[in-house]
Amino acid sequence: MSKPDCRPFRNPVVAALDVDTRDEALRLADQLADVIGGLKLGPRLCLRYGQDLVREIAARAPVFMDNKHFDIPSTMEAAVRASFEAGASVVTVHALSGPEALRAMAAVEKELNQKRSFRILAVTILTSWDENSLPPVMKPGRIADQVKALAGHVSQNGLKSLVCSPHELEFLRDQGFFLLTPGIRLAEDAHGDQKRVAGPAEALRDGASALVVGRPIVRAEDPRAATLKFLDACK
């Protein structure tokens, strides 16, 4: 298996710091700093602790801020710039946010990359959704078709990085996208609320650039050992 281009992460395994306190987040960051590819922060921590925590985590490993911005273009741009200034290396926006917003994101990404490695990822269909749980306003159809349509929309408007489940990797892999894939589990791990999952080696083989792992790492008795297990499983 060829080594994926996972920049700006150090390696393909990104741990989701889905915890509630600054102390928990920093404890995990310290445990994982020398082995993890990156650390994901979401609203759960960002709304409590703001940019100060982002800066503290970014001093330990590349930060992926997963706040899935979906707003008018100027608000999205301001949020992305604030994330970058706090130290984030990767942020997410919604693929559904429309062509004007996506074009603005592509321009901001290009500009900020002149300063340091930075990616804006478009979220397609959440891994907690399947055909039976799509919002009623969305056109009925297969998840794969929904993702294909959104990926084409994202690419046409200048962004080339996506969040997608393992099940969509195979048909996105040869389109020049950076593909960040949640829903990664080892065979012995519980799926939790993830409906579309895969193992690390399988996801990388199918075209993933980087992998997001949450509970199997952060709730492990030894999170560092769990990370090393996932890294070994990537081979």
**Residue 83 sits in which domain range?**
13-233
- The answer to whether position 32 is within a domain reads yes
Asked whether residue 197 is assigned to any structural domain, the reply reads: yes
Q: What percent of the chain has pLDDT over 90?
A: 77
Marked catalytic residue, from 3, 68, 160, 229: 68
**3-state class (DSSP) for residue 150:** helix
Is 23 within a domain? yes
- Mean pLDDT lowest among 98-112, 135-149, 165-179: 135-149
Percent of the chain with pLDDT over 70: 93
Question: Quick one: pLDDT at residue 204?
Answer: 94
**Does the structure show a pLDDT above 80 at 57?**
yes
pLDDT at 193 over 70: no
Q: Is residue 184 within 8 Å of residue 203, measured between CB atoms?
A: yes
pLDDT value for 106: 98
Q: Name which of 72-86, 135-149, 160-174, 206-220 the model is least confident about.
A: 135-149
Mean pLDDT of 204-225: 95
* Domain assignment present for 74: yes
Strand ranges inside the chain, DSSP E = 13-16, 38-41, 63-69, 88-94, 119-123, 161-163, 178-181, 210-213
- Over 80: is that where the pLDDT of 1 sits? no
**pLDDT at 179 exceeding the cut of 90:** yes
* Res 183: pLDDT: 83
37 in a structural domain:
yes
* pLDDT tops 70 at residue 171: yes
pLDDT tens, position by position, 80-126:
999 999 999 999 999 999 999 999 999 999 999 999 999 999 998 87
Mean pLDDT value of segment 29-58: 97
pLDDT digits (tens, 9 = 90+) for 9-32: 999 999 999 999 999 999 999 999
68 is catalytic: yes
Distance CA 124, CA 11 (A): 23
Tell whether 85 is covered by a domain: yes
Q: Is 79 inside a domain boundary?
A: yes
Q: How many CB atoms sit inside 10 A of residue 104's CB?
A: 21
Q: How confident is the model at residue 191 (pLDDT cuts 50, 70, 90)?
A: very low
Q: Which pLDDT does position 2 carry in this prediction?
A: 52
Mean pLDDT for the stretch of residues 179-191: 76
Instruction: Tell me what pLDDT residue 195 has.
Output: 46
Residue 55 is assigned to a structural domain of this protein: yes
Q: Provide the pLDDT confidence category of residue 128 given band limits of 50, 70 and 90.
A: confident
Query: How distant, in Å, are the alpha carbons of 28, 48, 130 from that of 134?
Result: 34, 29, 6
State the helix-helix crossing angle for 22-32 and 223-233, rounded to 10 degrees: 50
* Tally of domains within the chain: 1
Q: What is the CATH number of the domain that holds 105?
A: 3.20.20.70
